[in-house]
Structure 1
Amino acid sequence: MQSSKWTLIYMALLLAPLSLATARDTAPVELEITNKTGFPIYVFQGKWRGVVLPDEHFQAKDYKSSALTVSTSTPEAGFKFVTLSQAKGCKAQTCILIDGN
């Protein structure tokens, strides 16, 4: 089971688009997604798909133009809590904190 977890993480790294690394341009950040789970999560927006690894952040600029969808990377994974916040520790206007098993 442990090796399959690491296999999934390595696969997610290989499949992650480069746009996650370049998503922090000059436009103001409107939304930040923080993955506090033990598994990668997928973020979908329009035709774009990204992967957010455990304990990593993803920053979206314009979520008003198309819906932002978050899902688990495996059927065994699940979300325990999803929190929407504008706390001081958030580097964006709004933060979504996803916690799971």
Structure 2
Amino acid sequence: MIVQLLIFIISLGLGFYLAKLVSGKKAGQAGVLPSWRINIKNYIFWPHHWLIGLIELVVCLLFQVKIIFVYGLLLGIIIQGLTYKDFYYVFFQKDKYPF
């Protein structure tokens, strides 16, 4: 039990650190990996890395993945993504993005 908790905490920190390493330094800035932005008429769908991580986390839960390291890593990525000021800009009008 203690070992699993330790693995979870270490993987959470690693996920946060790796996401910070490859993501943009500020809201709206490009990171090492390019952002996916999908144009839909006058709107943009922007699946941030925290949203992709959340979807992956839900899939892991649905398939009952038993690897605690994966959960910590994904949760670290999600938490890091939520630190940006623009984390809630997922589906918005093209002219409404302030960053």
TM-score normalised by structure 2 residue count: 0.32
Q: Which has the higher helix share?
A: 2
1 or 2, which has the higher strand percentage? 1
TM-score (norm 1): 0.32
Bigger RCO of structures 1 and 2 (CA < 8 A, at least 6 apart): 2
Greater CA radius of gyration, 1 or 2? 2
